[in-house]
Amino acid sequence: MADPVRLKPRRPCPICKKPSLQKFHPFCSARCAQVDLSRWLGGSYAIPAVETEEPSEGDLDNGQRLD
């Protein structure tokens, strides 16, 4: 069986920095893939949101209320 054609250069595993394997891309093992999934599900990779203020009654153009 021929080796698969690689379109992108190999990069290190984002968890442990070992060389990644195509089977677990972009990770080096199933363990590192599970660690990454656990971090996603635990909220470690959450992007902080900026809260916007709700417009006050004086900010409305036509004088309608927000009810």
Domain range annotation of the chain: 10-43
Q: Does this model's pTM top 0.85?
A: no
Concatenating the DSSP letter of every residue in 14-58 gives TTT-SBP-GGGTTSSSHHHHHHHHHHHHHTTTPPPPPPPPPPPGG
The pLDDT, as a whole number, for residue 58 is 61
Give the tokens for residue 65.
């209320």
pLDDT at 38: 96
Per-residue pLDDT of the chain (67 residues; tens, 9 = 90+): 777 766 677 789 999 999 999 899 899 999 999 999 999 999 898 888 888 877 666 655 555 555 5
